[in-house]
Amino acid sequence: MNKSALLLIDIQNDYFPSFSGSKMPLPAMDKAIVNANKLLMAARDSNTPIIHVKHVMTSDTAPFFRPRTLGAELHESVRPITGEAIIEKTKPNSFLNTGLEDYIRNRKIEHLTICGAMSQMCIDATVRAAVDLGFKVTVACDACAAANIEHNGISVPFDMVHASIMAPLSSIYADVRPTSDCLP
């Protein structure tokens, strides 16, 4: 069996509609956190390594995740405890210019279960990078959330954005499944 870890990506206050002053509320984030919390509790119970990734923008004028703000803090329902790693990043790919790869390799982790936000940005970029680096990946699709987006005058609702990311990830890059299938 490959040694596994849980990677929680950008589960930060600014993404939650329920957070007062949210700068980038994602429609399904409050639902996704329920499943992310299940994964976190199961990982803690089974002594699975847990890595929290926190996106902090480089400017106080960024649209969200501004440095030193409550919006950039990890959400209380997945707050790290002693022994859980926190990796800070400034780009969508959690491996880019961070110590994530070294942290994982030093612990001989070969498989990552990934959840968090946003499906179309940081989840997609991190999953693809992880696979390119040789890691096996499972995505807990119902523990991830996407944004409503617009392109070229076409509005795409969050659930379609999410599905349009999970479909190609599941066909080539990762084992994409519901949280219930990811629990030990």
Q: What is the mean pLDDT of residues 27-52?
A: 97
The total domain count for the chain is: 1
At residue 1, the pLDDT reads 52
pLDDT, one tens digit per residue, over 71-124 is 999 999 999 999 999 999 999 999 999 999 999 999 999 999 999 999 999 999
Q: What is the mean pLDDT of residues 13-32?
A: 96
Q: What is the mean pLDDT of residues 51-62?
A: 95
pLDDT, one tens digit per residue, over 5-19 is 999 999 999 999 999
Q: Which domain holds residue 10?
A: 4-182
The domain that holds 22 is classified in CATH as 3.40.50.850
pLDDT, one tens digit per residue, over 116-168 is 999 999 999 999 999 999 999 999 999 999 999 999 999 999 999 999 999 99
Tokens of 120: 């179309």
Q: How confident is the model at residue 2 (pLDDT cuts 50, 70, 90)?
A: confident
Cα 173 from Cα 166, distance rounded (Å): 10
Asked whether the predicted pLDDT for residue 184 surpasses 90, the reply is: no
Omega before 118 cis (within 30°)? yes
Cα 130 from Cα 177, distance rounded (Å): 17
Residue 9 phi, psi (nearest 5): -105, 120
Tokens of 128: 């693809």
